[in-house]
Amino acid sequence: ETGVTQTPRHLVMGMTNKKSLKCEQHLGHNAMYWYKQSAKKPLELMFVYSLEERVENNSVPSRFSPECPNSSHLFLHLHTLQPEDSALYLCASSQDNGAANEQFFGPGTRLTVL
Amino acid sequence: QQPVQSPQAVILREGEDAVINCSSSKALYSVHWYRQKHGEAPVFLMILLKGGEQKGHDKISASFNEKKQQSSLYLTASQLSYSGTYFCGILSGGYQKVTFGIGTKLQVIP
């Protein structure tokens, strides 16, 4: 496997379910990100982890809970979501060396909340 | 605050040129350009740094005007493969926090 992978690629869940999105990067990077992409809206940064520490939480509701157990893996735990949370959730990684570096994106998880 | 991109959409014939603009109300440290094809992940094009030179590869180049707080992406002699949505992202402070614009949808037709 190369690059950034995400599972599952598609997820349908009810508002009372609990599910998790998984992201794995094989690039040796030390920073990972979660973004939300909705139709006709810009990419919204949700969380940033650098060296496994959360360094950015962009006013995201508590029904979204990130976890970064190591520099290669990132999870997004979901519970009691709302229909407006339906979107494409993208994971990205980059090398954090103090400068602004390119981010490599995964293919995303298409989430539908019923 | 997100950057403003213009135009929101553009249709080109193969071989034509296009310019996509990205402006911000905040002072910029860097501007990032990405392209996303339908159903695919965004792919990095280039980063322009404050005080840096105009960047480019192949027939896609970009400029960064620090005084005007804006960047422009130039697509020359467009190819069908250029079709997609182009996003600019700005780093204006905050740890690795890039704020993206709404995107410019570009379609190249034969």
Using H for helix, E for strand and C for coil, what is the string for chain A?
A: CCCEEEECCEEEECCCCEEEEEEEECCCCCEEEEEEECCCCCCEEEEEEECCEEEEECCCCCCEEEEEEECCEEEEEEECCCHHHCEEEEEEEECCCCCCCCCEECCCEEEEEC
DSSP string over chain B: ---EEE-SEEEEETT--EEEEEE-SS--SEEEEEEE-TTS--EEEEEEETT---EEETTEEEEEETTTTEEEEEE-S--GGG-EEEEEEEE-SSTT-PEE---EEEEEE-
Residues of chain A with pLDDT > 70, as a percent, come to 95
CB–CB of B2 and A96 under 8 A?
no
The pLDDT of residue B57 is: 67
The pLDDT of residue A1 is: 54
Chain B within 8 Å of A105 (Cβ-Cβ)?
yes
pLDDT higher than threshold 90 for residue B96: no
pLDDT level of residue A99 (50, 70, 90 thresholds): low
pLDDT higher than threshold 80 for residue A83: yes
Computed over every residue of chain A, the mean pLDDT equals 91
CB–CB of A100 and B40 under 8 A?
no
Task: Tell me the Ramachandran region of residue A96: left when phi exceeds 0, alpha when psi lies from -120 to 50, beta otherwise.
Answer: beta
CB A42 within 8 A of CB B102: yes
User: Chain A residues with CB inside 8 Å of B99's CB?
Assistant: 42, 45
User: Chain B residues with CB inside 8 Å of A27's CB?
Assistant: none
pLDDT higher than threshold 80 for residue A28: yes
Considering CB atoms only, which of B41, B96, B103 is closest to A42?
B103
Query: Measured between alpha carbons, how far is A93 from A113 in angstroms, rounded to an integer?
Result: 26
Q: Which site among B8, B31, B85, B96 would you substitute to test the A interface, given the most A Cβ atoms closer than 10 Å to its Cβ?
A: B96
The pLDDT of residue B54 is: 64
Amino acid at A114: L
Considering CB atoms only, which of A31, A43, A108 is closest to B96?
A31
Segment A87-100 shows an average pLDDT of 86
Segment A20-30 shows an average pLDDT of 96
Q: What is the pLDDT of residues B67-93, one digit of tens each?
A: 888 999 999 999 999 999 999 998 866
pLDDT higher than threshold 70 for residue B22: yes
Find the closest chain B residue to A37 by CA distance. Answer: B102
Of A89-93, B72-76, B94-98, minimum mean pLDDT range: B94-98
Chain B within 8 Å of A101 (Cβ-Cβ)?
yes
Query: Measured between alpha carbons, how far is A31 from A93 in angstroms, rounded to an integer?
Result: 5
CA–chain centroid gap for A63, Å, is 14
pLDDT higher than threshold 70 for residue B6: yes
